[in-house]
Amino acid sequence: MDAFVLIGSFLLLIVLGMPVAYALGLSALIGAFWIDIPFSAMMIQVAGGVSKFSLLAIPFFVLAGAIMAEGGMSRRLIAFAGVLVGFVRGGLSLVNIVASTFFGAISGSSVADTASVGSVMIPEMVKKGYPREFSTAVTVSGSVQALLTPPSHNSVLYSLAAGGSVSIAALFMAGILPGLLMSAALMALCMVFARRRNYPKGKVIPLREALKICVEATWGLMTLVIILGGILSGVFTATESAAIAVLWAFFVTMFIYRDYRWRDLPKLMHRTIRTVSIVMMLIGFAASFGYMLTLMQIPAQITATFMALSDNPTMILLYINIMLLILGTMMDMAPLILILTPILLPVVTSIGVDPVHFGMIMLVNLGIGLITPPVGAVLFVGAAVGKVSIEATIKALLPFYLALFLVLMAVTYIPAISLWLPGLVL
């Protein structure tokens, strides 16, 4: 009955249209009233939820990504990707995915990736003869990898939701190979389409121009080198690396590229503060909700339920994947990470799944949900940028869903894809 009151009230509030953060907080209060817990205890949980040093990484990474996204980085990364793969048949579709790989490794945001890369690549692909809906589908699916590769904001959230027991640095390292695997799968699919549909070849960029493009892009790509190099060398922590990334992004944007106007900085800061405020509210209320879950022993009950369904780890992971895929289509990624991690982590650890590995499973699942209706935020952004209807975009995405599902199965059942790199360098 306790679980019904807590989770039922949360779902009811969501159905009534209340924002997820407020629904989490109010349902936690309802649960506290039900089991006679003082409301002051809930307020302590909310305050404690946002009073963690590691959370400073989120605003800093969001700000660094915003500065680079609006400061001309996407255009230079697209040009750099064109040097690498633009000359083959269907090269622009490959450029789109490679540019998303680079940009995602700087912004850590699929929405920013879709908006920045899509605004440049979709019109260019259409101009060269690619169908608009295909161009949009490539952009939308390619942006999912930004959720995996460092600096992924969602990896920070997962570490927080896991009670700080999972290293952010390990999650950053774990996301690299799954992200590259996702890129490779999507590029292979695009090459198949290019041959079947006879998409055009790109031109080979002259050496002198190619060198100039590479030098310009290197300034932005150094952001990733600074983040990972500093963490792995032990010079600074993952949280401190976020602050360093902001300083570097500001320096490159305002003094090297000089495409961004100083008078626009206050507006950028305002947008960043609004985004971070929403995330912090969500984290605080999710902490109180997670506290109620623990008091009501709901994670233990769900673990017992899964174990009753099957004692086979393969089947349990399959059930969890199905559940995450379904839930990912109905709610945004951040609240799902904060809500589900405390519930599902005991389940997977009881069958021997490494918490870092499960983090990658969760991120891939929920990333697919971001490009799937009815609540696919990245899908809607891509359709708006590409000026294509949601229906047409979904139809064009169908083969890309298959490619992403195959990557999900590989990440789920081959732990080395996620764990080899952290084990090697940490």
Q: Would you say residue 299 has pLDDT above 90?
A: no
Name 47's Cβ contacts closer than 8 Å, sequence gap at least 6: 284
The residue with greater pLDDT, 302 or 421, is 421
**pLDDT band, residue 134 (cuts 50/70/90):** very high
Q: Would you say residue 109 has pLDDT above 80?
A: no
pLDDT at 400: 95
For tokens 């991120």, the residue is 363
Rounded to an integer, the average pLDDT of 416-425 is 91
Q: Would you say residue 331 has pLDDT above 80?
A: no
Percent of the chain residues past pLDDT 90, beyond the cut: 21
**pLDDT band, residue 268 (cuts 50/70/90):** confident
pLDDT at 408: 96
pLDDT at 150: 82
What is the C-alpha separation between 206 and 223, in angstroms, rounded? Answer: 27
Q: What is the mean pLDDT of the chain?
A: 85
Highest-confidence segment of 37-46, 64-73, 102-111, 173-182: 173-182
139 within 8 A of 186, measured Cβ to Cβ: no
- How large is the angle between the packed helices 313-328 and 355-369, nearest 10 degrees? 40
Domain of residue 128, residue span: 2-425
Number of CB atoms found within 10 A of residue 327's CB = 15
Highest-confidence segment of 73-87, 158-172, 298-312, 356-370: 356-370
pLDDT at 133: 93
pLDDT at 102: 82
Name 35's Cβ contacts closer than 8 Å, sequence gap at least 6: 2, 292, 295, 296
**pLDDT band, residue 364 (cuts 50/70/90):** very high
What is the C-alpha separation between 353 and 291, in angstroms, rounded? Answer: 24
Give the chain's domain count: 1
- How large is the angle between the packed helices 265-295 and 2-15, nearest 10 degrees? 150
Token pair of 363, please? 């991120």
pLDDT at 238: 76
pLDDT at 181: 94
- How large is the angle between the packed helices 132-142 and 91-107, nearest 10 degrees? 30
**pLDDT band, residue 125 (cuts 50/70/90):** confident
Full-model pTM:
0.85
Rounded to an integer, the average pLDDT of 155-172 is 87
Rounded to an integer, the average pLDDT of 43-57 is 78
Q: Would you say residue 298 has pLDDT above 80?
A: no
Number of CB atoms found within 10 A of residue 424's CB = 8
DSSP 34-72: HTT--HHHHHHHHHHHH--GGGGHHHHHHHHHHHHHHTT
Q: Which of 292, 349, 342, 285 is nearest to 317 (CA)?
A: 349
**pLDDT band, residue 416 (cuts 50/70/90):** very high
What is the C-alpha separation between 392 and 378, in angstroms, rounded? Answer: 15
33 within 8 A of 296, measured Cβ to Cβ: no
The residue with greater pLDDT, 86 or 149, is 149
Mean pLDDT lowest among 50-54, 88-92, 258-262, 291-295? 50-54
Q: Would you say residue 3 has pLDDT above 80?
A: no
What is the C-alpha separation between 3 and 253, in angstroms, rounded? Answer: 50
Q: Would you say residue 243 has pLDDT above 80?
A: yes
| Alpha-carbon distances of 405 from 114, 138, 194, 207, rounded to whole Å | 20, 15, 21, 39
298 within 8 A of 3, measured Cβ to Cβ: yes
pLDDT at 405: 95
pLDDT at 188: 93
Q: Would you say residue 301 has pLDDT above 80?
A: no
